[in-house]
Amino acid sequence: MAKISIHEALKQVAAVSPIASFAVDKNHRITHWNTAMEALSGVKYQDMLGTDKQWQIFYDDKRPTMADMIVDELSPDEIGVYYTYSKFKKSTLIKDACEAERLFAFLGGEGRWLHSTATPIRNGDGEIIGAVQTIQDVTDQRRAEEALYESENKFRSLFESARDAIWINDNGGTIQTANNAAALLTGYSVEELRGMNIASLLDTKSQHKYVRIMDRLLNSKPVFLPYELSLKRRDGSEIICMISTNVISGSSDPTSFQSIVRDVTEEKQQYETARFYLQEITKAQEEERRRISRELHDSTAQNLIALLHQIDNLLADRTNLPVKEAKALWSFHEQIKNILEEVRRFSRDLRPSIIDDLGLVPALEWLCSELNREYGIDVAIKVSGEEQRLAPETELLFFRIAQEALNNTVKHAHTSEAKITVKSMAKTIRLTISDNGTGFKPPSNLESLTHLGKLGLAGMQERVQLLNGTLKIDSKPDKGTVITVDAPLRTQ
């Protein structure tokens, strides 16, 4: 009968293997205890060779190790009895070999997870003459898995209980999972949403936008979040949603996207209603300004002019008036002339006819000349792009914004110079008003301007909203102020 020495068979492997391992013979005596096993157990091979103390490394009481059970030729079912509370399975590669994984609570203070394999050693006749057992410390891996499992459970809990609708879709737009809020939002059940393509929930324009967002995210391009889409519910109704989409990074090739969806239809309607009333109030204000301006020009100013003519006629007819009375009349004449000029100025400020007759740029030029004449402030104006007449309401709103900005410059900035720039672009128009004055610290939230008592800036912000534009205020104490307004270009 051909025989093979266990020592000779394992000598070479055991010496260089980085995996902790030991071998036992048919009598359960340790024949090999490699360097990696010394490091794992803290026991030198000299203290283990020839003994059957291998159980002491793992257990408090004597019991067979997996290698011992292989030597005794126990069946996998019999071996499994000892590993009821661990991951135990037969090897799919080697006959009669098996592996298991379990926590050894007394190892390393907080316990260690060990993954063991046991493989029979056979002689030339196929008889089992020993076994080799390998042990790998997989504690870090198991703890990472446990942390991931806990994290996934927390995410799942947050996902399911979130008040905002959430869905996760793949690169092709197929929804992989969705939460209960998404079901409530769309009218479909969670089961129905799974496997549905987002194209079924979006109109054509929104589909293209969503695809562009995914493409930009995959290519690490900037995306402004949240963004607005129109979503179709199961009952055929449409709602307006604000969506934030992010790539789910689980590998080097991300294929999933998470979208958090909020129904803002009611908020949008309220905003549009508020905007409508603001627009109507602004129109009413401008109409009242126009009416008062016209009354001042056509009635009050004309009456003052008539009064001046009467004084002129009186002075012409009464050439023999005493000097004192003549001086008094001429004094009244000058006062009335000054009042007439103030009335005319009020009339122009309320509603300069130049903006209706000639447009925004000539009106801004007139505004600059008035500031220079009255306050000595040098206000330059620069126009770039194609100069064209805008829609009347757009011109008026831009003019009022510039007027308010320059009034603030006069009242608060103590500036000697200011500049207005009007830039027409393909789809937008930009108005910039800058000065070299004292500057100030603008509020971080422009929506709070009214509460902060900054009514002039609040009025500018309201007019910018009516333009569907954006307002940016860049200012620092002693560094001057730059106000920039961007709005869609609307021509006549």
Whole-number pLDDT of residue 2? 52
Whole-number pLDDT of residue 480? 87
CB atoms within 10 A of CB 131: 28
Output the CA angle 119-6-45, nearest 5 degrees. Answer: 90
Please name every residue paired with 387 in a beta bridge, in sequence order, or none if there are none.
none
Domain boundaries, the chain: 6-143, 162-263, 267-351, 356-492
pLDDT(368) > 60? yes
Whole-number pLDDT of residue 131? 93
Q: Does domain 162-263 have CATH number 3.100.10.20?
A: no
Q: Are strands 417-424 and 378-384 parallel, antiparallel or unpaired?
A: parallel
Whole-number pLDDT of residue 165? 92
At residue 101, what are phi and psi to the nearest 5 degrees?
A: -140, 130
Whole-number pLDDT of residue 321? 79
Whole-number pLDDT of residue 6? 53
Q: What is the mean pLDDT of residues 113-131?
A: 90
Measured in whole angstroms, the distance separating CA 240 from the mean position of its chain's CA atoms is 18
Among 57-61, 77-81, 200-204, 325-329, name the most confident range.
Answer: 200-204
What are the tens digits of pLDDT across the range 238-275?
999 999 999 987 655 567 899 999 999 988 888 778 77
End-to-end CA distance of the chain: 108
Whole-number pLDDT of residue 375? 83
What are the tens digits of pLDDT across the range 302-353?
888 888 888 888 888 777 878 888 888 888 888 988 888 888 777 777 777 7
Half-sphere exposure of 416 (CA within 13 A, CB side): 0
Measured in whole angstroms, the distance separating CA 219 from the mean position of its chain's CA atoms is 17
Whole-number pLDDT of residue 209? 93
Whole-number pLDDT of residue 191? 94
Q: What is the mean pLDDT of residues 57-70?
A: 88
DSSP string of 9-20?
HHHHHHHH-SSE
- The answer to whether domain 6-143 and domain 162-263 are alike in fold is yes
pLDDT(487) > 70? yes
Q: Which fold does the domain 356-492 belong to in CATH?
A: Heat Shock Protein 90 (3.30.565)
DSSP string of 416-474?
SEEEEEEEE-SSEEEEEEEE-S------S-GGGTTTTT-HHHHHHHHHHHHTT-EEEEE
pLDDT(86) > 90? no
CATH architecture assigned to 6-143: 2-Layer Sandwich (3.30)
DSSP string of 280-322?
HHHHHHHHHHHHHHHHIIIIIHHHHHHHHHHHHHHHHH-TT--
User: Among 71-75, 152-156, 340-344, 420-424, where is mean pLDDT lowest?
Assistant: 152-156
What are the tens digits of pLDDT across the range 407-444?
888 887 778 888 999 998 888 899 999 988 888 887 76
Whole-number pLDDT of residue 51? 94
pLDDT(146) > 90? no
Contact 233, 208 (CB under 8 A): no
d(CA 2, CA 13): 22
Whole-number pLDDT of residue 252? 52
What are the tens digits of pLDDT across the range 446-475?
665 655 656 778 888 888 888 888 999 898
DSSP string of 157-176?
HHHHH-SSEEEEEETTSBEE
Q: Are strands 428-435 and 481-488 parallel, antiparallel or unpaired?
A: antiparallel
- Would you state the torsion angle of the CA atoms of residues 398, 403, 404, 408, taken in this order, to the nearest 10 degrees? 140
Whole-number pLDDT of residue 430? 92
What are the tens digits of pLDDT across the range 179-216?
999 999 999 999 999 999 999 999 999 999 999 999 99
Whole-number pLDDT of residue 253? 56
Whole-number pLDDT of residue 102? 85
Half-sphere exposure of 393 (CA within 13 A, CB side): 16
Band of pLDDT at residue 156, cut at 50, 70 and 90: confident
Whole-number pLDDT of residue 254? 61
Q: What is the mean pLDDT of residues 97-112?
A: 81
d(CA 462, CA 440): 20
d(CA 67, CA 98): 10
Q: What is the mean pLDDT of residues 225-229?
A: 91
Whole-number pLDDT of residue 438? 86
pLDDT(14) > 70? no
Whole-number pLDDT of residue 12? 56
Please name every residue paired with 485 in a beta bridge, in sequence order, or none if there are none.
431, 471
In the chain, what are the helix, strand and coil shares in percent, each to the nearest 5? 45, 25, 30
Cis peptide leading into 254, omega within 30 of 0? no
